[in-house]
Chain A
Amino acid sequence: MKIYKQTLMIFLLGIATIGVIETEAAERTFKDLNGKHYFEQHCALCHRGVGPGVFMLQRRLGERGAILENRDQISADYLQQVVRLGIGSMPRFSRGELTDYELVEIVEYLTKKTN
Chain B
Amino acid sequence: MELILPPGLSKANFSTALEEFANICGPQWVLDTDIDRETYLDLYAPGLSAERAHAPSAAVVPQSVEQVQEIVRAANRFGIALWPICRGKNFGYGGAAPVMAGSVIVDLGRLNRIIEVNDKLAYATLEPGVGFFDLHEYLQQHNLPLWLSIPGNGWGSVVGNALERGFSRTPYGEHANSLCGMEVVLPTGELVRTGTGAMENSKTWPLFKSGFGPAWDGLFCQSNFGIVTKAGFWLMPEPEATLRMSMSLPNPEDIGWLVDVLTPLRISGLIPHNVGVANYMGSATTTSQRDEWYEGEGAIPESVVQNIMEQYGVGWWNFSITLNGDPQILERQRELIEAAFAPYTTETFSLSRWRRGEPGGGPTPSVFALRVVNWHGGRGAHMGFSPILPASGDEILQQLKRTRSRYSQHGIDFSSTFYICGRHVINVNLLLYNKDDHELVTRSNALFKDLVADSASAGFGEYRTHLDWMDSVANSFNFNKQALRRLNETVKDALDPEGILAPGKSGIWPKRLRESVVQEGTKGPTV
The interface of chain A, by Cβ under 8 A from chain B, is 1-5, 7-9, 11-20, 45-46, 50-52, 55-56, 59, 84-86, 88-89, 91-97
Q: Is the C-beta of B61 less than 8 angstroms from some C-beta in chain A?
A: yes
Complex Cα gap A13–B380 (Å): 24
Residues of A near B364 (CB, < 8 A) are: 17-20
B283→A59 contact, CB < 8 A: no
Residues of A near B35 (CB, < 8 A) are: 84-85
Residues of A near B363 (CB, < 8 A) are: 16-17
A85→B38 contact, CB < 8 A: yes
A89→B380 contact, CB < 8 A: yes
Complex Cα gap A8–B110 (Å): 35
A11→B288 contact, CB < 8 A: no
| Among all A-B residue pairs, the 10 with the closest Cβ atoms | A94-B39, A18-B366, A96-B107, A19-B364, A96-B61, A13-B320, A89-B380, A92-B39, A18-B368, A12-B318
CB distance from B192 to the nearest CB of A (A): 25
Complex Cα gap A84–B40 (Å): 10
How many positions in chain B have a CB within 8 Å of any CB in the partner chain?
66
Complex Cα gap A6–B282 (Å): 13
21 contacts between A and B (CB under 8 A): A1-B292, A3-B287, A3-B312, A7-B368, A8-B314, A11-B368, A14-B169, A15-B152, A15-B276, A16-B150, A17-B362, A17-B364, A18-B366, A45-B133, A45-B366, A59-B374, A86-B43, A89-B373, A92-B38, A92-B43, A96-B110
Within 8 A of A (CB), among B255-290: 276, 278, 282-283, 286-289
Residues of A near B109 (CB, < 8 A) are: 96-97
How many residue pairs, one in A and one in B, have C-beta atoms under 8 Å apart?
Answer: 147
Complex Cα gap A92–B38 (Å): 8
Most buried by A among B110, B155, B320: B320
Q: Is the C-beta of B303 less than 8 angstroms from some C-beta in chain A?
A: no
Most buried by B among A15, A16, A55, A85: A16
A19 in complex: contacting residue of B29, B366, B377, CB < 8 Å: B366
Known: A16-B149, A16-B150, A16-B363. A51 touches B38 (CB 8 A): no
Known: A11-B282, A89-B381. A4 touches B287 (CB 8 A): yes
B40→A94 contact, CB < 8 A: yes
A89→B43 contact, CB < 8 A: yes
